[in-house]
Structures are given as C-alpha cells and as structure tokens.
Amino acid sequence: MTQPLTAQVVIVGSGVAGALVAYRLAQAGVDVLVLEAGPVVDRAEALQRYRKAVAKTPESPYPETFYAPRPTVLALEDYYVQEGPTLFKSTYERIVGGTTWHWLGTTLRHLPADLRIGTRYGVAVDWPIAYEDLEPWYLEAEREMGVAGNSKESLGSPRSGDFPMPGLPPTYLDKQVSLAAEQLGLSVQVTPQARNSQAFDERPPCCGNASCVPICPIKAKYDATVHVRKAEALGARFVDRAVVTFVDVSPDGYVTGVRFKRPDGSEQRAEGTVFVLAANAIETAKLLLMSRTDALPNGVANSSDQVGRNLMDHPVQLSFALARDPLYPYRSPLENAGIEDFRDGTFRSDHSAFRMAIGEDGWSFPGTTPITLAGQLIDNGLRGEELIAQMNAHVSRQFRFANLMEQLPDPENRIEPAFDQLDSFGVPRPRIHYRLGEFVERGMARAREVSEAIFRQMGAYDIQHGQAHEGAGHLMGTYRMGNEPRGSVVNYEQRAHAHPNLFLLGSGVFPTAGTANPTLTLAALALWAANTIRRDLAAVAQVQGAAHDTP
C-alpha cells in the first residue's frame, strides 16, 4: 500500500453535503481532503451524450464506470440486489457533484410538524431537533445554493429572512390548474427552487429548457460542483476515482483512517483528525456495514443495529390526463409549482401526507415522451403534416401530477452489503429489502382521488392513474439521528454516538421523511455540521497549544 494521504478533515463523497462542508471548512483555513468514487464530469460532453441517448433517463448523460457502478431506472436489479417484496426504484450518481447533476432543484423546507409527528400524530418518531433549531441553517443553505422563491409565502415553514432571488413566474399551465384547484378549495403555489430566476453567483437565469432532469445545459440550476470548485479554489483537495471500501477504528472508538481503491486496483489510505461520510443513504450505510472487524462485528457506528435500516423514499403516485385546450408544457423547469394543502393534517395518523407537484413535461414521466408518441402515431399510419398536427395537438394538452408520498420509517426496509454478490470492482452490491406499507398505499389512494377531482374540474379526459409507485430519488433514513444511542446512529450534531470524530451527513440521518424534497434540509444540516467540526478542531488546537506552552 502506498503512502497514506493526510488532512485535518477527510470527507467521503462530493455531493451537496460533502461539497458544502469542504467549502465551509476550507474558508476557515482547515486542511480538507475529499474522496469521490466516481469521475469528474464535463458538462458539454454530458450534454452531447444525453442528446445522442435513445432513452432519456436520469442517468443517460453520465458515464458508466466499472469502478463506481450505480443503479439505473432501466435496470433496477443490475446493481441493486432486490429482495422485495417491492422494487426500490430510486437511483443516484457516483460522480463528482453527486446526484445534484440530475436532481430537479426543488428546495422546500420541512414543516415544523414534520419534526414532531410522533408527538402530534402518534406515528413514527420525533427528530431530536426542532424546526427553530434548523431554521437559521435553512436560510444559510438557501443563500449558498441560490434559491428562488416568494419570500412572502412561508409555505407553512416560518422564515427569518428572504430568499436570495425572487421566485420564477407561474406558467400558463400552472395558472390553468390553479383556476380549477381554487374551485375545490385548494391553492397552487410556485415552488422554491435552487435555480436562478436572475443572474446569480456567476450563473445565468433559467431559460426553460425543460431538461432539469437529467441535465441543465446552461448551469442555471445549482449542483454541487459549484461548491466543489469554490472549495478547490480555497485549497481543498478532491481525489476522484477513489472508491472507499473500509473505515478503520481504533480500540478507543476513534476513526483513524479510510481505505480506498483506485481503478488500476491499487489501494491507499487516508488519515485525518475528523472524518465525514457523505456518500448517500445507501452507499454510506453500505460502507459502515462493510467495515466489520472482530471488535465491531456489526460494522462501524452500528451498536444500535440501526445502520442500513429505515430506508425511506417519497414514493411517487403519477396521475395524468389530457386537457380540452392547450396548456403548452415544456416551457419551464420540469416542475414549477404545486399544491401543498395535503402536506400536514390529522390524517397523518392514518395515511401519508403528500404534495402534488404539477408536471411541465407532458407525459414524459409516465413514459410517453414526444418521441414515444411520434412512434405510436407513425405506427398508426400518420405521416407528414398530419403527423405534426396530431403531435402538436396531443403534446400541448398533456399534463400530470407527481404526488410525492410521505413514507414512515420501517426497520425491515433496509440496505445491507451483499457480500455474496460483488459488483464489477469487487465491492459488495447493495442488498435491498423494501415495501411501501399500508400507510403509503392509503395515501396514494387519497392522492388519486384528489387528482381525479382536479382533472374533472378542468374538463380533462383520458385520465390515468399509475397503480404502481415510481421512485423520487430521495434516499433517507438509514443512519438516523436521535438522542438515544440504542435507537439511532448519530446525535443531533450528526456525530456518530460511538465514534466522536466521525460525522455522517446526508438524508440518511432523517428520522422521518415528511414531504419536502430532502436536499435543502440535508444542506442545512451539513452547514450546521461544518460549524460543529470547525469548533471541534479549534478546541483541539487550543488544547494542543496549551500543552505545547507548558514548561
């Protein structure tokens, strides 16, 4: 094994959490090393790869590598070892910048009630923090990422300051849905988004390419490479194509290093004072469980047996229809507004809360893209101007709701390393046990009822409701935070209960899912953790300085 790399802080993962922590610590003069399993991505090359791809999936712009394989929506069992009873359908990227390359950009805050559903509704558990603790960090995260939103609309989450940019305007489609929703006592509100509504942070405003998933061609949408570059400019070191395979722990419980492999098969070690695992809720949990020793037979940070358990998503129930008159989708971000009326209420004792995102991408999410539709019409004999007229008439009237369901933590929903089924680089694949549960299924039934009512109010037809769920890409819960080490993995600081110099970041720390897309919350928590780590390092330096000065 070659000479180890050293730094004050070693971070595993270069997504939002890892990149933000690296940036904030580098600002404070801390020596930071970031290890990323995947490669650096060139946006222009990725865009060309996307344009040439036959299947325009979330993964299509990004390189497949043998050393950092990842799940794909077209092959959910090639990387995941799915052991049911339900397929886990959410995927992610292993590249510099992480999955924010193809995230939607939605940056809703959790509601105060989301952190107290155990107390309020008698289901699941409370978080060890309150909304008031998190709120100033939400504000910091919105400023760092560049969130566009209406500062006069709290959306149920009280604010202590304004968004850095005004919100994007509602689309014509949003307005037409709003007219119908109002007749039913519901309201459509523009969604806060980490997407420029005006020039911000040396990036241009959104121009409505409608390809946020899988790639923003002009970089109006925030992704973690923004803070990767900022951290590098301040001296942080990023090592790509470094697949971390093991976490080393000393007899006194301190992490001493992480081992990683390079694509050529060589192995190396990184050593530091503080360690941050920020891969994602599946890869971080898998790494902890892979790091088994005689002293830690259940893996690192797993004395509670909670690592890998309580895997959650926001299962998506799709409903879609054709409007009587054109709504003109594909002229904005893929989702620009939504109906938030069902995110909280006493019904959460019985079934999922949910939010209704209004789709601006026609029927692409349900699987009927314009290219697919063209093929169907050609098969039906249409050609030339008749084909164009039918395409325009159909696509211009397509719209859909993506109903994102709250999922409760279930210890049987879990990820484990498949030691008996290795990936192409010789690393255990993620073995997943997953089911939706009746709580979600009852919520999905309610979401279909509400969607149907809005469609009928609009006079829409060809109404269809997906009976199976789709993945939201929101991996949560597998190393949750809590006050009691017996039932959680990290404390409110995101510090591992059993390992004082190990921080686990990302939405894996979420005790419950709520209905807000997780990225803003995990970013806020990451900034909070960066502040804690900086304070810890300052305290260590002070103690070392005092010892050095003692005669």
Indicate which residues carry an active-site annotation. Answer: 474
Burial class (CB in 10 A: 0-12, 13-18, 19+), 324: exposed
Residue 541 has pLDDT above 80, yes or no: no
Q: How confident is the model at residue 540 (pLDDT cuts 50, 70, 90)?
A: confident
All domains of the chain, ordered by start, with CATH? 5-549 (3.50.50.60)
> What are the residues whose beta carbons fall under 8 Å from the beta carbon of 26, sequence distance 6 or more?
32, 231, 234, 235, 236
Give the Cα separation of 523 and 397 in Å (integer). Answer: 37
Q: How confident is the model at residue 551 (pLDDT cuts 50, 70, 90)?
A: low
- DSSP labels for 357-410? EEESSTTTTTT--HHHHHHHHHHTT--HHHHHHHHHHHHTTEEEEEEEEP----
Mean pLDDT estimate for the chain? 96
For residue range 162-178, list pLDDT tens digits in order. Answer: 999 999 999 999 999 99
Residue 547 has pLDDT above 70, yes or no: no
For residue range 414-442, list pLDDT tens digits in order. Answer: 999 999 999 999 999 999 999 999 999 99
Q: How confident is the model at residue 545 (pLDDT cuts 50, 70, 90)?
A: low
Extract the tokens encoding 178.
Answer: 């709003």
Extract the tokens encoding 468.
Answer: 């199976």
Q: How confident is the model at residue 349 (pLDDT cuts 50, 70, 90)?
A: very high
pLDDT of residue 550: 59
Give the Cα separation of 110 and 356 in Å (integer). Answer: 15
Rounded to 10 degrees, what is the CA torsion of 329, 332, 335, 337?
-100
Q: How confident is the model at residue 84 (pLDDT cuts 50, 70, 90)?
A: confident
pLDDT of residue 327: 98
pLDDT of residue 2: 83
Q: How confident is the model at residue 399 (pLDDT cuts 50, 70, 90)?
A: very high
Give the Cα separation of 180 and 10 in Å (integer). Answer: 52
Rounded to 10 degrees, what is the CA torsion of 172, 177, 180, 183?
-100
CA angle, residues 277, 427, 503, in degrees to nearest 5:
10
pTM passes above 0.75: yes
